[in-house]
Amino acid sequence: VEFRPLRASELPPETLPLARALIGCILVRDDAEGRAAGRIVETEAYAPDDPASHAYPGRRPRTVSMFRGPFHAYVYFIYGVHFCVNVSSEAEGEGAAVLIRALEPLEGIELMARRRGGASAGELCRGPGKLAQALHIDRSIDGRYLLDPGPLWLGAPVRPAGRIGVSRRIGIRLAAERRARFYERGNPFLSGPRSLSP
DNA sequence: TAGGCGATGCTCT
DNA sequence: GAGCATCGCCTAG
């Protein structure tokens, strides 16, 4: 499969529109082990005014990548166990990002399965911690610009996205009622309970 | 299928 | 010392 890098003019920098536009785009990971890539099928938006956002308390050493302007990687470590990857959004100086929650695996499936301890194809990238493990994403990726060739980058869709669903977000307490989770309806690789992806 | 819980480390109070 | 944008394993139904 050949993937074409996205250009900045093809993506909206605003957080909510970006979260929607990223559905169907490709996340490509290139490293010494080879290529692992998947189609983005689920995202969550964390806008500047959002109390649940890591950027809400202001710029901190951990979160500087959220303030660098659109399309940079923000990678954080959570629960002492997992990494999660975001695409930063909004103008430079504003703190916001879109969490990538699930991928439909496209390339490097054996590589991803090895990194995931032999998980089945349907479980490789079903959740933000799982996809980070499958793509070997850690804090060394934090801050990378995602529209240039490099260890992690965004590719143009290889097929059009289906109908987009919207729901509340998963696993948060603050602002839990906001409808800021986007997903491709009917896609079998989504995370979370079925009730959130009708 | 849904819900409870422990693991584990970093950030902030 | 608490809480966390999670996961995997367990139990109950």
Q: What percent of chain A has pLDDT over 70?
A: 100
The answer, yes or no, to whether residue A111 has pLDDT greater than 80, is: yes
Its pTM stands at 0.96
Q: What percent of chain A has pLDDT over 90?
A: 93
The pLDDT value given to residue A33: 96
Nucleic chain C contacts, protein chain A, residues 54-113, CB cut-off 7 A: 54-55, 66, 74, 76, 78-82, 84, 86, 97, 99
Cβ(A190)–Cβ(A63) below 8 Å: no
Q: Dump the DSSP string for A119-183.
A: --GGGSSBSHHHHHHHTT--GGGTT-BTTSSSSEEEE--SS---PEEEE--SS--TTTT---EEE
User: Where does the pLDDT of residue A186 fall: very low under 50, low under 70, confident under 90, or very high at 90 and above?
Assistant: very high
Q: Is the CB of A193 under 7 A from strand B?
A: yes
User: Where does the pLDDT of residue A118 fall: very low under 50, low under 70, confident under 90, or very high at 90 and above?
Assistant: confident
- Whole-number Å distance, CA A166 to C1' B2? 22
Beta bridge partners of A182: A43, A166
Q: Is the CB of A129 under 7 A from strand B?
A: no
Which nucleotides of chain B have an atom under 7 angstroms from any protein CB? Answer: 1-3, 7-13
Residues 6+ apart with CB under 8 A from A117: none
The answer, yes or no, to whether residue A127 has pLDDT greater than 90, is: yes
Distance CA A144, CA A142 (A): 6
Residue A127 identity (one-letter amino acid):
G
Residue-wise pLDDT for A13-55, tens only, equals 999 999 999 999 999 999 999 999 999 999 999 999 999 999 9
Q: Is the CB of A58 under 7 A from strand B?
A: no
Length in residues, chain A: 198
The pLDDT value given to residue A1: 72
CA quadruple A148, A153, A154, A158: dihedral, nearest 10: 110
Look up residue A118 and give its DSSP letter.
S
On average, the pLDDT of chain A sits at: 96
The pLDDT value given to residue A182: 97
Q: Tell me how crowded residue A65 is: count the other CB atoms within 10 A of its CB.
A: 22
Distance CA A22, CA A25 (A): 5
**Mean pLDDT across A53-60:** 95
- Please give the nucleotide, over all strands, whose C1' is closest to the CA of residue A126: C7
